[in-house]
Amino acid sequence: MRVATDFRDVPDRWYNIIPDIGFDFPPPMGSSGYPMTHHDLSPIATAPIVDQELDRSERNPAIPKELREFYVEWRPTPLFRARRFEERLDTPARIFYKHEGGSPSGSYEFNTALAQAYYAAHAGEKGTRYLVSASGNGEWGASLAVACNYFGIKCRVYMVRSSYEQREYGRYLMELLGAEVVSSPSPNTRTGKKALSQDPESPGSLGMALSEAFEEATTRDEAKFAWGTLMNHVVLHQTLIGLEARDQLRHGGVRPDLCIAAVGGGSGFGGLAFPLYRDRKSGIRFIAVESAAAPTLTKGRYGWDYADWGGLAPMLRMYTLGHSFVPPDIRAGSMRYHGISPLISALYREKRIEARTYTQRQAFEAAVAFARAEGFVPSPESSYAIKAVLDEAVACKDRGERKNILFLLSTNTNLDVAVFKDFLEGAVEDKHAPMDKIDEAISSLPAQPSV
């Protein structure tokens, strides 16, 4: 059931949470331990993006008018009430989901892809001619490809080799949309050559693909790097989700008690949760749901670490499993990452948000129940959020509480239908992160700067 169908406004400003968090929040760090400046970051991103990344004071930065006209093409996205799912669970809780799957690329990731491509085309120094990035299962890459097409620039995506070879639909989609897709590790970059010399059969990892894309962006004037998650400016762009959801719920007379989303790098969670964070005095709880294969918040170390495998990208202060840790090969490709958004990390450390971990079988079981009740097939990533929603809804039943639960259905592309087939046939195994490997990776974290 769609909520607030006569509400049609799209925000004209994003929401930057930093002025509201009440504690200092450091910028990214260079490898020799200095806080990075606009100048340091400008080789890899356009000036407006760097401004957004480093901005600590502007609570409501304006969305450029021309960019907003693109958002208005398909936004606001619908907010649905999962009435049938509630009925199946026989819960007094009310479950709402913000559904981002109707975007032109089928994913919430289009929100930031569009902004980054817009700035690259309009504010690109020295003539940005293409964006380069890394993608796990291809959804982020597909969003970036569409966004680049909109503004007439090229798109190159380093795709983790195991996904490139085994989860072809994501690759097919990116190529159909005109992106150049490179299997990572590749001979294109020094990082890739190094990885291949260590192991010619390397399956790759998201951190490795990030290093390759990052290296390409830093060494070519005509390229800029596009972040799919993690960074402040990406979460900023995604706050459209939560800003709309907040207004839609208000319009429907609903005060949310719980706000739930899966976290890989954290941009979906931050995008939904941060605009609601302003209402935290109402008692709303925020739950970030991660995979048992990459339990960054619950089992990681809070400290400075590289965003990528090769140590080419900036260091970020965040919860991390260590940039050399390669998570087990679970189906939710974009949750296989060692770190998590510095903003989310900081809020978790301050106990402003909660974290919870599930295995993939727990997640997929909940997702199948949801799909059969509601129709929409969630992505593997959203499945983790749905498991948390299910548990909370059942707890409401046990306690006789009528809570309002809001969650993010981030994607609806059907690229992962085969995953659910494997699950239904019993061919999906639970995978837990090996703690000894995490300890090993954490023990080799870079020297911690004293700032």
Residue ranges binding its own copies (CB under 8 A): 1-2, 5-6, 8, 72-74, 78, 80, 84, 101-106, 110, 146, 149-150, 168-169, 172-173, 175-178, 368, 371-377, 412-415, 417-418, 420-421, 424
Shortest Å distance, C-beta 225 to its own copies: 22
> Which amino acid is located at 390 in the chain?
L
Residue written as tokens 């993608």? 135
- Phi and psi for 85 in degrees, rounded to 5? -65, -40
Q: How far is CA 249 from the centre of its chain?
A: 23
Residue closer to its own copies by CB (options 131, 316) is: 131
**CB of 229 within 8 A of CB of 341?**
yes
Shortest Å distance, C-beta 284 to its own copies: 26
Residue closer to its own copies by CB (options 12, 401) is: 12
Shortest Å distance, C-beta 4 to its own copies: 11
Instruction: Report DSSP letters for 40-62, one per residue.
Output: HHTTTS-HHHHHHHH--S-SSPB
Collapsed DSSP state (helix, strand, coil) of residue 99: strand
- How far apart CA 443 and CA 439 sit, in angstroms, is 6
CB-neighbour burial class of residue 23 (10 A; exposed 0-12, middle 13-18, buried 19+): exposed
Shortest Å distance, C-beta 126 to its own copies: 26
Residue closer to its own copies by CB (options 302, 376) is: 376
Residue closer to its own copies by CB (options 149, 298) is: 149
Shortest Å distance, C-beta 51 to its own copies: 27
**Cα radius of gyration (the chain):** 20
Collapsed DSSP state (helix, strand, coil) of residue 295: coil
Shortest Å distance, C-beta 111 to its own copies: 13
- Phi and psi for 110 in degrees, rounded to 5? -65, -25
**CB of 389 within 8 A of CB of 143?**
no
Shortest Å distance, C-beta 178 to its own copies: 5
Shortest Å distance, C-beta 318 to its own copies: 32
Torsion sign over Cα 388, 390, 393, 399: negative
Q: Which two tokens stand for residue 15?
A: 């929401």
Beta bridge partner(s), residue 182: 158
Cβ neighbours for 341, distance < 8 A, ≥ 6 positions apart: 229, 230, 231, 232, 235, 263, 265, 266, 267, 269, 270, 318
Beta bridge partner(s), residue 107: 411
Residue closer to its own copies by CB (options 29, 367) is: 367
Residue closer to its own copies by CB (options 106, 256) is: 106
Residue closer to its own copies by CB (options 418, 445) is: 418
Residue closer to its own copies by CB (options 81, 323) is: 81
- How far apart CA 449 and CA 451 sit, in angstroms, is 6
Shortest Å distance, C-beta 322 to its own copies: 35
Residue closer to its own copies by CB (options 168, 439) is: 168
